[in-house]
Amino acid sequence: MREFLNELFTKRYKYDFSYILSLSISILLALILGAVIMLILGYNPIEGYGALIKGAFGSPRGIGDTLAKTVTLAMTGLAMAVAAKAGMFNVGGEGQLFLGAMAAAIVGAELTGVSPIIAIPLCLLAAMAAGGAYASIPAVLKVRLGVNEVITTIMMNSIAIYLCVYLSNGPLKTTERGIASGTQAIDPEFKFTRLITSSTLTQSIFIAAVIALVVWYFMSKTAQGYEQRLTGQNYEFSRYSGFKTNRIAIISMIISGAICGLVGMFEVFGIHGRFIESISKEFYFDGMLVAMIMRYNPIGIVVISIFFAALKMGSTAMEMKVGISSELILVVQSIIIFFMAAENGISRILKEKAAIRKAKREYLAAKAGNV
């Protein structure tokens, strides 16, 4: 823990100051742009953002929901980061999440009556195994055959989602009356306790915290993490240095998929108590955005997740109170990414221009000196 705090506050992250500055400016500009859109459409932006902040932090329930969303965002963001650091772009987290949720729901329902101390870890394992195994397919295809993993993972999203929807409406549909679709309910004993009444914040936050610490430690403190980083940065170099690059890439994808599966399990055990069709509303893509904004830095992902979770939860309140569609926040988020992506290029262009100007001045000065 001390090391973690040290890392967060001491010199190792100091050089990232300019990054944090440009991130803050990007976020500010994007929020202003959001306000301009509200103005154009005839809403009062102060009222809109006011409702947003109040919705996210205004009540214990709001805070609880925001924290719960933080868990989902941080976990999916970390999942993206683990794979991306090894040079694998896992866009298929949504499918891995669905399969993890489905596996956990099936095992959870099968083990009804078993002691939770045995059953819950088994469900955890089932969810992680399902997500990890599913993620290993595109990883192997990429490493062995060079099949673009972005395309395969996206295709596998649709496959997993349709498959789970089919299962929960067909062969695995609950026999309970009055439920349109969904699998058999898990034993109520297994359900995570809610930490704040009527909010969605559950004990899963503790599991998530452990996973986050493990991922951070793995990525920045272990030799494997170092090899992983190098593999992502320079595949050929790492291969010739004798790293088992293929294995590193595949393992990173499996870890990534396992974390996604776990997020699916949290939804089942924390909230719904069974697998339902709408178990995830593109949760993984939100997490991906967060990971990309923080350039796959695990600590940064956890910290900024709180901010984006507040935006997300607040936006629903904003939609209900002021009537501004909550999708505006998705727009604001993607604008932040565009700004961050542009920032790199703009500062590079400015530097180049400055260098050219300097060279010109020196040339002129030298010329003047000669004459």
Partner 1 sequence: MSEFLAAFFTVFNVMLFQNTLRTATPIVLAGLGGLFTDHAGIMNIGMDGMMLIGAFTAVMGTYYFQSAFMGIVLAIVVGVLLGLFFGLFVIKFKSDEFIIGVALNIFAGGITIFLLRTLTGVKGAFPLPKSLGLPTVSIPLLDKIPIINELFNNNSILVYICWLLVIICYLVVYKTPYGFRLRAAGEHPQALRSIGVSPDFIKYSASVICGILCCLAGAHLSLGYLTQFSENMSASRGFIAFACIIFGRSNPIKVFLAALLFGFFDALGLRLQNIIPANLTLIIPYAATIFVLVIAALQSKRKSKLSELKLNKV
Interface contacts to partner 1, rule CB under 8 A: 41, 89, 91, 141, 145-148, 150-152, 154-159, 162-163, 165-166, 169-170, 282, 285, 288-289, 292, 324-325, 327-331, 333-335, 337-338, 341-342, 344-346, 348-349
Quick one: 356 or 365, whose CB is closer to partner 1?
A: 356
Contacts by residues 246-249 (CB-CB < 8 Å, ≥ 24 positions apart): 246/143, 246/144, 248/86, 248/224, 249/86, 249/87, 249/88, 249/139, 249/142, 249/143
Please state the closest distance from residue 152 (CB atom) to partner 1, in A. Answer: 5
The Cα–Cα gap between 158 and 56 comes to: 31
Quick one: 166 or 237, whose CB is closer to partner 1?
A: 166
Please state the closest distance from residue 138 (CB atom) to partner 1, in A. Answer: 8
Quick one: 41 or 365, whose CB is closer to partner 1?
A: 41
Quick one: 192 or 275, whose CB is closer to partner 1?
A: 275
Please state the closest distance from residue 301 (CB atom) to partner 1, in A. Answer: 15
Question: Could you tell me if 294 and 39 are in contact, meaning their C-beta atoms sit under 8 angstroms apart?
Answer: no
Quick one: 120 or 324, whose CB is closer to partner 1?
A: 324
Quick one: 342 or 366, whose CB is closer to partner 1?
A: 342
**Of 118, 97, 140, 70, nearest in space to 301 by CA:** 70
Quick one: 143 or 201, whose CB is closer to partner 1?
A: 143
Please state the closest distance from residue 156 (CB atom) to partner 1, in A. Answer: 7
Question: Could you tell me if 311 and 97 are in contact, meaning their C-beta atoms sit under 8 angstroms apart?
Answer: no
Quick one: 9 or 162, whose CB is closer to partner 1?
A: 162
Please state the closest distance from residue 162 (CB atom) to partner 1, in A. Answer: 5
Length of the chain: 371
Please state the closest distance from residue 282 (CB atom) to partner 1, in A. Answer: 8
Structure-token pair, residue 322? 């002021």
Please state the closest distance from residue 98 (CB atom) to partner 1, in A. Answer: 12
Please state the closest distance from residue 9 (CB atom) to partner 1, in A. Answer: 28
The Cα–Cα gap between 10 and 202 comes to: 32
CA–centroid distance for 239 within its chain: 29
